[in-house]
Amino acid sequence: MATEVLVPTLGESITEATLGEWLKQPGDAVRADEPIASLETDKVSVEVPSPVAGVMGAHAVKVGDTVQVGAMIATVDAGGAAPAQTAAPQPAVTQSPQQAASAPAPEPEPQGDSPAALSPSVRRAILELGVDPATVRGTGKDGRITKEDVEAAAQAKQSQPTAPAPAAAPAPAPQAATSGGRKEERVRMTRLRQTIARRLKEAQNTAAMLTTFNDVDMSAVIEARNKYKDLFEKKHGVRLGFMGFFVKAACMALKDIPAVNASIDGEDIVYHDYADISVAVSSPGGLVVPVIRDADQLSVAGIEKTIGDFGKRAKDGTLKMDEMKGGTFTISNGGVFGSLMSTPIINPPQSAVLGLHRIEDRAVVVNGQVVVRPMMYLALSYDHRLIDGREAVTFLVTLKNAIEDPTRLLIDL
C-alpha cells in the first residue's frame, strides 16, 4: 500500500520551499521517520521524514522544483521489500530502470552524488573541499557521511601526496587544464540566498541608512578573558569569548538609547522593553541570524552558551525557523574573517546593526604618550528616519566605555 509523503508545515508565514536534494531513491528501503528528502526554505534546510517503513516509491517532483506546504512529493510502499539485490543483475529492466539502479545507490561507489544520505551541509563540504564521497567512510547514524568525515578525508588527502589521483578523477578540472579553455558554471541561487538578496535590497531601498564609527581599546576585556577563561570554562562548560561582553554592553546601551532598539511600523514607532539580539553566524547556505531571546536578562555565560549552540547548529543545518524570527537589534562580527572595517546592512524591521571587526595593535595616544593598544573599529548602521546622529553616536560611546571598563557591566553604569 502506497503512502503519500507530504511537505510538512514549515513555520509561520512560510508556504513553499525548494526541493534541495533527494536522500532516498526509488527502490531504496526506508525506515519510519528516516529522512528521505531535504527542502530549502527562506531560512533553513528542512529534512522530510518517511511517514512509514517500507520501500521508496516514485518521486513526484525534481530537485530544484518549488513545492507548497501539504503537497505530495513522493510515495512510500509501506511494508514492502527493497528489490535491490535481485533487480541489479537483470538486463531487461526497461519497465523499471530506477529499481535496477537502486542496488548500488546506498553505497557511494560510482558517482559523487550517489549517496542517499548526504545532508546539505555535507554536500557543500564535499564541493568546497574537493572530496570524492566514494572515498569517505561514514561514521554517522546508519553509516551516513557527516561533515566531519568529509573534513577528515580532505586532511588525509593533503597529507598523502600520492592519494589525490582517485579523488580528482571525477572532477572536470584536469580536462579544462589540458584544453587550455576557460569555463563558466551557472548555479541556481538557493532559496536562502534569494531571500538574503531580496531582504538586503529592501533594506537599502526602505531605510535612510547611515553608518557611524568609533574604535575601542580591547585591553581590559582581553585581560579579563585571559585571567578568567580557564575558570569560566571549567564552571560553565563553554569558552569565554568576546561576544558575551559585547552583547551585555549592547543591551546596556539599548536601555539608555531606546530608539536604537525600536522599529518603524507604518506611521508608528514600536519601542521594546526587552532586548532580543540577533547574532549573525555563518551556515553552509549563507549568513543566518538566530535570536538570543531576552539577552538583557542573561549572564555572560548564558549568552556564550547560546551563541555557541547557534554556531554549531548553523553549520549542521539544524537551526529552527522560530529561532530566527524577530530580534530587535543585530550584532555582526566580521572580525572573525579578518575584516578591518565595514558598513553593515540593517536587518529589517530592526533599525540598527552593530558591526564588530578584527583586533589589531595600533599606536594610540594615552595621557599624552604614544602607546600600543589592541584596538577594534566599531560600526553602527542605523535608520536615520528613527535614530538621530546624536543617539547613534551616544550608543557607540556608551558601548565603548563599557568594553574599555568592564566593571560598568556589573554596576550598570
Residues known to be catalytic:
384, 388
Contact status, residue 392 vs residue 329, Cβ threshold 8 Å: no
Distance from C-alpha of 320 to C-alpha of 44, rounded to nearest angstrom: 7
Backbone dihedral region of 234: left (phi > 0), alpha (psi from -120 to 50 degrees) or beta?
alpha
Distance of CA 365 to the CA centre of its chain: 40
> What residues form DSSP beta bridges with 279?
331
Q: Which grid coordinates belong to 128?
A: 568546497
Distance from C-alpha of 42 to C-alpha of 288, rounded to nearest angstrom: 10
Could you give the dihedral angle defined by the CA atoms of residues 329, 334, 336 and 338, in that order, rounded to the nearest 10 degrees?
A: -160
Task: Indicate the helix (H) or strand (E) that contains 243.
Answer: helix 243-256
Distance from C-alpha of 357 to C-alpha of 215, rounded to nearest angstrom: 10
Please name the residues in contact with 281: beta carbons below 8 A apart, sequence gap of 6 or more: 287, 288, 289, 290, 307, 310, 311, 314
